[in-house]
Amino acid sequence: MILNQSKPSADGFYMPAEYAMHEGTLLVWPVRPGSWGRDPESAQDAFCAIAKALSEHEKVWFLADSEHLQEARERLRDMAEVVEIPTDDAWARDIGPTFVTNGTEIRGINWKFNAWGGDVDGLYMSFDKDDAAAVAFCEHVKKDVYDFGDFVLEGGSIHTDGEGTLLVTETCLLSKGRNPQLKREEIEERLKDALGIKKVLWLPFGIYNDETNEHVDNVCAFIAPGEVVLAWTDDKEDPQYAMSLADLDYLTSVTDAKGRRLKVHKLPIPDHPVLVKEQDLENLVFEEGEDNREAGERLAASYVNFYFGNGVVLVPQFGGENRKSDERALRILKDLCPDREVLGIDSMAILLGGGNIHCITQQVPRP
């Protein structure tokens, strides 16, 4: 049932933290040629690796259209339930519903999706199927839906501690392609109404060259109440340095919804920038109006784009000259999350598509 006029917070619902227990995780089978290539096998291998790791701890759902339904079921086998719901691409974090709970019941929130900027700076022109996917999935799992479909938001642009604090970036939520008719204070009120949030923390920046207008989930994430990880570099010549330093200055100057000073853990980005190669472009096929890639383009590689599953943390790994960076990220997160298994996932194919592990997963919390 769609709850058009209701406010989740007024009904006692709030968004729990990602590290709280899940009923399961939602993903989408990757097939779009402009993101995953005319041969998407490498991306599909990465999605399957994530499904395998999660399926040992929680339920996994995949969305697929009719043309690729059987293919997805054969590849995923008993790791996931594959649901016939068509989409334009495979970014479940951004097109899937955001789930809220009152402690006993789970409901979804449907935001408006416009491909990260619509006519202003959106990444592709046709996104109707993406925009409809959240309601369709809620109907499949029999969850009521709060319809915020006049408010543009992606799941990757918000991150909560489950205790009333929300992280966002100014660059994304105040971008002209999202909700230009709303003032910052009005955006905050919509977020508080929807997510049961008491305080919104506005980081100045995300990750350099992040085509989502710098989603927060690529630069900063809660790992516990009062504790965050922040993407970092010590290289003052790297454009990320000034951006992360501004975020650090902000985070150390504010308190969360409960009045706590935040403990900030630095999580270094790869030591070597990850760039698009000529051979990568040979596989990609872009449609008219779709954002293209170029050889030498810097990708928004960050280890903060990890995902909390039940009992596990799935961490991007880039390989090649960044193997030592990969190992360092795993060590840091193992120290910070001692009660979970920390697993590295080869995610270069996902990064080439435009995001990473957190961007393709959406948690369904357990009431």
Residues annotated as catalytic (active site), given as ranges: 359
> DSSP E strands: which ranges in 153-203?
159-160, 165-169, 199-203
Please answer whether residues 217 and 359 qualify as being in contact, where contact means their C-beta atoms are separated by less than 8 angstroms.
yes
Please name which of 22, 79, 15 lies closest in space to residue 312, comparing C-alpha atoms: 22
Per-residue DSSP letters for 147-165? Answer: EEEEEE--GGG-EE-SSSE
CA distance 204 to 20: 27
For tokens 């999350």, name the residue: 337
CA distance 91 to 310: 21
Task: Find the Cα–Cα–Cα–Cα dihedral 152, 150, 23, 17, rounded to 10°.
Answer: 50
Please answer whether residues 109 and 146 qualify as being in contact, where contact means their C-beta atoms are separated by less than 8 angstroms.
yes
Token representation of residue 241: 């340095």
Please answer whether residues 269 and 301 qualify as being in contact, where contact means their C-beta atoms are separated by less than 8 angstroms.
yes
Please name which of 118, 100, 122 lies closest in space to residue 109, comparing C-alpha atoms: 100
